[in-house]
Amino acid sequence: MPVYVLGISALYHDAAAVILCDGVIIGAAQEERFSRLKHDASLPIRAAAWCLKKAGITAADLTYLVFYEKPLRKFERILATSVATFPKSWGAFPRQMRTWLGDKLWLRGTLCAAFGVRPDRVLFCEHHLSHAASAFYASPHTEAAVLAVDGVGEWATTTLWRGSGTSLTPISEVRFPHSLGMLYSTITAHLGFAVNEGEYKVMGMAAYGQPRFRAELDRLLKLDPSGGYALDLDYFSFHWHPTRSGTPALEALLGPGRFPGAPFTPEGGAAGGAARAESQRWADLAASAQAQIEDAMLHLVRHAKAAVGTDALCLAGGVALNSVANRRIAQEGPFAHLWVQPAAGDAGGAMGAAMWVWHAVLGHPRQPGLARADLGRSIPVDRAREMLTDLGAKFEAVDDPPASAAADLADGKVIGWVEGGDEWGPRALGHRSILADPRSAETKEHVNSRVKYRELFRPFAPSVTAADADSWFDIPAAAQEPACWMLTTAAVRPEKQATIPAVVHVDGSARVQVVRPTASPVFHQLVSEFGRLTGVPIVLNTSFNLKGEPMVSCTVDAMASFVRSGLDVMYVDGLRVERPK
């Protein structure tokens, strides 16, 4: 009988479901792609139902359903922290108790009722073990140091493991409230962005600044020579305040925070001198925070090498999505190989928990590592045709969609591209993408302002064929795998920067995606054909969504975004859809 394991992550942010059959990933999807609520944290009922359908089974056929963390231990941490910080925590405590004394604390029964499984089929994996398992078991490495860094799980915020074969052995940990993830999120909030959603905006803003606030930020964080670290909690309130991350002392140290939505104009434009100066202060603060998190991660990585001694490092946890830090880890760190789980945040915990059951609970051998990102919902062409007809769209089937799309791009069109299954993780990797010609500097502003309706300072990624990557980008040797998941930055070679200005960030870098023909054959054909037409084997690639929305998943999602954006044309699995008049 086949062994089916369904992994679940939920109830904080980025809920997801992943199903394995005999240790092989059959499907993986985030709930937001079905509910259309970005970072949806609710139980992934729709994603799980899709996983079961993809596997051709019902919940009764599951060997195990596994949740990605242990709620009782998490409740213990919340209760202990509230008591330790009382009376300051009096505002947060009632809210936390109302939440936890409801469904969260008695989660086994909730899972049984929601997913239709028996209580003896429900397992719980520790949060950071789920992260570590997602990084190690999905990697191509059988011996590795495994580092998980995020905001917080049950108690742990940073953990180091030794991965060997099918075993994960804990080495060390840092406990809440000391947390690199919470430190970066606090600066994110101070800069006027939403926590758990705006950290990558801080990373983009940092390129416009200089780290002149580094001395101030170093008062917040002290690195331990033994490989740990500690926060100065006088500056933080995330562990006791219901809504605020930093204390008045933080504002006194760093200056007033940015009001959410305030214009960011470091390059001038129509803004006056005072506005430019304030924008530059924000950029310098972002640059200081980014430099600090990079140095802290290098500190952890060097300790990992000394403690474990392998050639490979596997990263997971939300901090592992910081592609600029990953580049420095690859360039300056002691490991020859870096592997980052593409859904490194909480969504990836669903995959890690399922893999933990297969290897640690059931004792089965390793399966091949994760090689493709298109693990989510796909659109049967007949169904897409039917839905487009019902929506009154004007479309035609094309014989060679990659060639047709490449011709549209070369003609200056901005296109929506839907092919195969949804990407696993937050990066658009050529399955749910908005694509454009990178050769014009105006393309960046056009796509930001008139297609996606987002902040003008945010950069776009270049997708380049694997055969041509080294000619255009200086990708660190250790970061070859993260580059395939768009999880590292690289310097654009100086002589090439003027050719592709739309994807070169202000500091001369780019968050590159290296497209391999084995991982994304259709998208690779598209980029290759664009290279044949233009001499530039690179396309601008960003996620197919509008600001504040999840990536599109099905035909209706794609059509809704298409008609509300400035896209010129859209492709849905071989169907070329023209813009409605």
Domains and CATH numbers, the chain: 4-138+343-361 (3.30.420.40), 175-340 (3.30.420.40), 381-578 (3.90.870.20)
Per-residue pLDDT, averaged over 525-546, amounts to 97
Residue 235 to residue 233: CA distance in whole angstroms: 5
Q: What share of the chain is helix, strand, coil (3-state, %, to 5)?
A: 45, 20, 40
* pLDDT, position 100: 64
Q: Are the CB atoms for 71 and 107 separated by under 8 Å?
A: yes
Q: Are the CB atoms for 148 and 158 separated by under 8 Å?
A: yes
Per-residue pLDDT, averaged over 4-14, amounts to 96
pLDDT tens column, 36-87: 999 999 999 999 999 999 999 999 999 999 999 999 899 888 888 888 888 8
User: Which burial class, exposed, middle or buried, applies to 401 when counting CB atoms under 10 A from its CB (0-12, 13-18, 19+)?
Assistant: buried
* pLDDT, position 102: 65
Give the list of residues 6+ apart from residue 520 with CB closer than 8 angstroms, or none.
372, 373, 374, 429, 430, 431
Q: How far is CA 442 from the centre of its chain?
A: 27
Q: Name beta bridge partners: 16.
A: 9, 30
Per-residue pLDDT, averaged over 226-238, amounts to 96
User: Phi, psi at residue 444, to the nearest 5°?
Assistant: -60, -50
Instruction: Count the Cβ atoms, other than its own, within 10 Å of residue 320.
Output: 29
User: Phi, psi at residue 543, to the nearest 5°?
Assistant: -65, 145
User: Phi, psi at residue 125, to the nearest 5°?
Assistant: -115, 145
Percent of the chain with pLDDT over 70: 97
pLDDT tier, 272 (very low <50, low <70, confident <90, very high otherwise): low
Q: What is the DSSP string of 523-535?
A: HHHHHHHHHHHHS
pLDDT tens column, 146-155: 999 999 999 9
Tell me the average pLDDT of the chain.
Answer: 94
Q: Which residues are catalytic?
A: 13
* pLDDT, position 76: 87
Residue 397 to residue 557: CA distance in whole angstroms: 20
pLDDT tens column, 293-343: 999 999 999 999 999 999 999 999 999 999 999 999 999 999 999 999 999
Residue 427 to residue 542: CA distance in whole angstroms: 8
* pLDDT(233) > 90: yes
Q: Are the CB atoms for 177 and 236 separated by under 8 Å?
A: yes
Residue 72 to residue 50: CA distance in whole angstroms: 29
Q: Which residue type sits at 479?
A: A
For 356-484, strand residue ranges (E) read 395-397, 415-418, 432-436, 461-465, 473-474
